[in-house]
Chains A and B, each alone.
Chain A
Amino acid sequence: MNYRDKPELQDRLAGEYVLGTLRGRARSRFQTWLRDDARLRRAVAEWEARLAPMAAGVAELAPPRRVWQAIQARIAVSARRPQVSGFWESLAFWRGWGLIATGCAAALLGALALQQPQVVEVPKIVEVPSKAMQASYVAILHATQDGQKLVFVAYAGRHSDELWVKKVALGDAPPEHGYELWGLPAKAGEPPKSLGMLPKDDKGTIKLAAVADQSLKDFPALAISIEPASGSKTGLPTGPVVAKGDCLKFW
């Protein structure tokens, strides 16, 4: 469909897109057009301004507490990262979800891309000249409340499925609760993955699902949350995140 020279058609499609009646392939196609057509984005923003006040007619409903807890756990990761990765998260987010939240946001993303053409994510690899140290993954976690305070370290040989853990200053979990260790994926929007419950003692091991090179390589960071003693029932962090930090390749 040639829509570019037809402002009335553009405006009609923008209205139906915002109202939500544009669906399926028509919606995807419209979202593709939105990415490179500033005029269309403006039409969408105008329709959003016209129709969004209708939301005032919807009764408020308080979301359960776990929603906020999950959001906190997820933003704890992005707060930890430097600003540049936010840019990549943005791209990953928009592409991953195929979601154009508003035309304006997409336009600004485009502007960002122009301003920062050379942002490159630095791989978290530490080169070690000596062969004495076995190739391994090393995680160093700090308290969420106090980023200076080292509270937990973990270590696994690259080809081992045993993760050695040490609570440096984590204290005891609340009664009937325990600490659960999570791998945090690099890509925003992907959920954390449980690596297991920490042992009760200050030092011990966690049996990984596979050798570290498979089970840890996708997680540039780890986090610890407080969960029921048998682990989170949802498969996602539900309790407060008490510690987080980088998981480095040490070879």
Chain B
Amino acid sequence: MDPAQNKLLQDLLAACARKDQGAFARLYQATAPKLFGVAVRILKREDWAEEVVQDCFVSVWNHAGTYSAGLSAPMTWMTSIVRNRCLDWLRRPNLEVVLVAADDDAEDPIEGMAFDGPGPLDQLASSADAKALADCLRRLEAKQRQAIMLAFYDGLSHSELASHMRQPLGTVKTWVRRGLERLKGCLGSM
């Protein structure tokens, strides 16, 4: 996200904190398609994603005053609200389980399976502040990268990752842990 866009969203959030409904409408227009995309991707159901996005925007309206530009970028803040709500949604009891179909041909989800069109890393590269993350993801071992991307984009838990990747739970947990450690180290050095 470029600095001008960042600043615009910060200003809109500040106006929302003052209960400016026009600013809230513009914030929605600017961010809802990305946030809805994130929610659909994790939940695999548009009706659930609609409910989550609705709740999250009401929450953003109510909590815009607690947003602090010094602590996180607006999109980071809002994305975290949506992802957390999705993950909590998936934790609901009695939820029909939506399993991601295992795909034998897809050894690595990075460049093909995950998205139509350009792979997610290509898309990341088009956003300046995400480029470092994309570079660091590329430097991970393939299995570590696959586990982290499936967890982030598709909301898979450790045990879902294990069954999807057909590996013992302990192995997958190690991939995730080491992958995150290396990612942190790599981002810290850039």
Contact = CB atoms under 8 A, between A and B. Distances in A.
Interface of A: 11-12, 15-16, 18-21, 23-24, 27, 45, 48-64, 66-68, 70-71, 74-75, 78-79, 86, 89-90, 93, 97-102, 104-105, 108-109, 112, 188-189
A53 B130 contact: yes
Give the size range of B's interface with the partner.
35 or more
Interface of B: 1, 19, 21, 24-25, 28, 32-34, 36-38, 40-42, 49-50, 53-55, 57-59, 61-63, 65-68, 71-73, 75-77, 79-81, 83-85, 87-88, 90-91, 115-117, 119-121, 123-124, 126-127, 129-130, 133-134, 137, 148-149, 151-153, 155-158, 161, 173, 176-177, 180-181, 183-184, 187
Contacts of A49: 72-73, 76
B61 A78 contact: yes
B148 to A, nearest CB: 7
11 contacts: A21-B156, A51-B152, A52-B73, A59-B123, A68-B28, A71-B28, A71-B57, A75-B61, A93-B63, A97-B55, A189-B55
B9 to A, nearest CB: 13
Contact of B152 (A19, A70, A75): A19
A93 to B, nearest CB: 6
Contacts of B90: 23
Contacts of B183: 50
A68 B24 CA distance: 11
B147 to A, nearest CB: 8
Contacts of B25: 68
A67 B32 contact: yes
Contact of A58 (B38, B53, B137): B38
A113 to B, nearest CB: 12
A220 B170 CA distance: 52
A7 B180 CA distance: 15
B87 to A, nearest CB: 5
Contact of A67 (B54, B148, B156): B54
B124 A93 contact: no
